[in-house]
């Protein structure tokens, strides 16, 4: 968003190679872990998918446990549905952050 438009990117001493794909970029275009925008976007997309899967799996397991073990009556069904949705949302978020963290960590060269 910011930090752009201050001169044209010229290949010079302050150009660094991306920690993931290895392509050279001007230093300001790389982030903290020296990843280019494209690599960060790719990792984000992968993490989003993995997080969504993790959340869905977790919510499905939780729903199964509720159905088999709790066997809720109609009266409290709404609460359980809410709990499953919360698990799905939270599990998805946590899964995504975890996956993104792992991707970022493993992507570091040495």
* Nearer to Zn ion (CB atom), residue 29 or residue 80: 29
**Stretches 15-23, 58-66, 89-97, 99-107: which one binds Zn ion (CB under 5 A)?**
15-23
Tokens 């790389």 belong to residue: 30
Q: Is 103 in the site for Zn ion (CB under 5 A)?
A: no
Q: Is 30 in the site for Zn ion (CB under 5 A)?
A: no
Q: Is 21 in the site for Zn ion (CB under 5 A)?
A: yes
User: What is the closest distance, in whole angstroms, from the C-beta atom of residue 10 to Zn ion in the complex?
Assistant: 19
**Stretches 5-13, 29-37, 65-73, 93-101: which one binds Zn ion (CB under 5 A)?**
29-37
- Residue from the set 20, 84, 95, 100 that interacts with Zn ion by CB under 5 A: 20
DSSP string for residues in the chain: --S--SS----STTEEE-TTT--EEEGGGS-TTS--HHHHHHHHHHHHHHHHHHHHHHHHHHHHHIIIII---HHHHHHHHHHHHHHHHHHHHHHHHHHHHHHHHHTS--
Which residues here bind Zn ion, judged by CB under 5 A? Answer: 18, 20-21, 36, 39
């Amino acid at each position: 968003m910011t930090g752009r438009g201050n001169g044209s990117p010229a290949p010079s001493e302050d150009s660094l190679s991306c920690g993931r794909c290895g392509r050279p970029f001007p230093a300001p275009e790389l982030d903290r872990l020296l990843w280019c925008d494209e690599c960060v976007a790719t990792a984000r997309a992968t993490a989003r998918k993995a997080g969504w899967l993790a959340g869905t799996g977790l919510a499905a397991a939780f729903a199964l446990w509720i159905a088999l073990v709790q066997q809720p009556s109609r009266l409290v069904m709404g609460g359980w549905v809410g709990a499953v949705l919360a698990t799905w949302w939270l599990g998805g978020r946590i899964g995504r952050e975890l996956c993104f963290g792992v991707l970022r960590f493993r992507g570091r060269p040495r």
